Structure 1
Amino acid sequence: MPPVVHAPMLSPKWSIATEGLDAEERQFILDRMRPLSFDPRAILFDQGEPSDTLVLLTEGRVRLYQTLESGEEFTFGLCIAGAILGLAALVTREPRILSAVALEPVTASVMTRTDFMNCLNMVPRFHWNITRLLAILALQSIERSGPLVLDSAAVRLCSTLKSLARQESGDAAGLRLHVDGLTQEELAKMVGVSRNWIAIALGELERLGLITKRRGHITIISARRLDAFIVGARNH
């Protein structure tokens, strides 16, 4: 099986792309984007498709993954609102190297390549921001790839759960988190293991008092305790 990362949450980048733009320049760009919505598990785009649009997530989370010839999936990461999808492929005019699937209801703004190039030509500051953003993404990819492929499956599972989790209502400290609507098969694909391994590992995490689970719902009892478990497993 190829190395599989533990699905880091990709931080928002649209703020970098629009940094320093005045109101008129921002509106010029926004006027060239159209809104789209996707249901949970809907495909935003597929690996191998022409990269003819830029996708800006405005709400919800998306999983980026690559499917190998063997059928195995390599999870690249989880994206949140503010993330830009397909930027590098759009600039290089290469087919998409990743697929994107909605993990929950997702809304996005989409810009065609023609409009994107027009924005670069008409708004010099936007052009510079995109150049800087591509450099940042390249550096982050290098920094992230080395350590993550060395993580054990248990660490990848815990990190993935943490990335997927939402804060429980009424928990002011934000320590109690929950993951809803995710099947063990989907979680196995993200971590890069079998469904049976996921079932056993979740049972062990529950035995250790780190989580509780029921069908379609996982509760992280304490984010701090889960973080401590991850650190301990990495240092073991």
Structure 2
Amino acid sequence: MLMQTLPDARMPGRTLSPKWSIATEGLSALQRQMLLDRMKAVSFDPKQVLFDQGEPSDTLLLVTEGRVRLFQTMENGEEFTFGICLPGTILGLAATVTGQPRILSAEALEAATASIMTRPNFLRCLSEIPPFHWNITRLLAILSIESIERSGPMVLDRASVRLGTILKSLARPEHGDATEPSLSVVGLSQQELAKMIGVSRSWVAIALSEFERLGLISKSRGKIVIRNASRLDGFIADERNH
């Protein structure tokens, strides 16, 4: 059953912020229920692809649980990660509005669920719920501005900065006795990290060792621990300023 209240989660690092709250802002309970009635809940396993670039944009997806990676595959086979999506994020909005093929792919980083609305139902909701239509227009403008703001830094960032921000985006809190809880990334291979950053696996291995030497992380088999998130933030800021 689709949850009617979605979390407005926030995470450090380069993540894509939730947008469902904007799409439903000002809607009555009846109008919200009209949207929910036209959506279907679907589950995805870790690493499962939600959709591929080039596919028809015939559905709109709302992430309800788990995290999803948006990426693009280049002609040479290399992947470029655009961001990590959190619960509350709408996927495929612009492509669904225009009816153009998807330009990005999406995969579940962990077990995830999404609510899916077909394009005909989406267009019907735009027609039947004027406040929803206005909210979607405003949301498309917000996404356009964010895309422009994000594209420059993403292209200019050093690989070390991309590694640091990706690690923070993927990390989950570890509960312990420390005043500032550690963050950990579990079950991610160096090859998978390399694909997200757009570098070789050997570069990732060397960079992680350097991060460990600097005291930014500690690593063991299948696990990377960020001991001090503030210190990693400082490293990322310094690297960007060089």
Task: Name the TM-score, length of structure 2 as normaliser.
Answer: 0.92
Q: Distance in 2 between matches of 1:197 and 1:91?
A: 40
- Alignment-derived partner of residue 44 in structure 1: 50
Match of 1:122 among 104, 110, 128: 128
CA contact 1:167–1:174 (8 Å) conserved in 2: no
Match of 2:198 among 186, 192, 201: 192
Match of 2:215 among 205, 209, 217: 209
Q: What displacement does 1:69 show?
A: 1.4
- Alignment-derived partner of residue 154 in structure 1: 160
Task: Percent identity, please.
Answer: 68
Q: Within 5 A, what are the aligned runs for 1:71-150?
A: 71-150=77-156
Q: What displacement does 1:147 show?
A: 2.0
- Alignment-derived partner of residue 10 in structure 1: 16
CA contact 1:33–1:110 (8 Å) conserved in 2: yes
Q: Distance in 2 between matches of 1:233 and 1:46?
A: 33
Q: Within 5 A, what are the aligned runs for 1:172-191?
A: 174-191=180-197
CA contact 2:15–2:83 (8 Å) conserved in 1: yes
The runs of 5 or more residues in structure 2 that have no matched partner are 1-12
Q: Which moved more, 1:198-207 or 1:145-154?
A: 145-154
Q: Within 5 A, what are the aligned runs for 1:18-37?
A: 18-37=24-43
Task: Name the TM-score, length of structure 1 as normaliser.
Answer: 0.95
Q: Which moved more, 1:195-204 or 1:69-78?
A: 69-78
Q: What displacement does 1:70 show?
A: 1.1
The runs of 5 or more residues in structure 1 that have no matched partner are 1-6
> Deviation per CA, 1:45-77, whole angstroms, max 9, x where unpaired?
011111000000001011111111111111111
**Number of residue pairs matched by the alignment:** 230
Q: Distance in 1 between matches of 2:64 and 2:71?
A: 20
Q: Distance in 2 between matches of 1:104 and 1:113?
A: 26
Q: Note if 1:170 corresponds to 2:179.
A: no
Q: Which has the higher contact order (CA 8 A, sep 6+)?
A: 1
Which residue identity does 1:215 align to in structure 2? Answer: R
Q: Which moved more, 1:18-27 or 1:7-16?
A: 7-16
Q: Distance in 1 between matches of 2:19 and 2:143?
A: 9
Which residue identity does 1:58 align to in structure 2? Answer: T
Q: Distance in 2 between matches of 1:161 and 1:74?
A: 15
- Alignment-derived partner of residue 225 in structure 1: 231
**Once superposed, which parts of structure 1, at least 4 consecutive aligned residues long, lie more than 3 Å away?**
170-175
Q: Distance in 1 between matches of 2:159 and 2:55?
A: 31
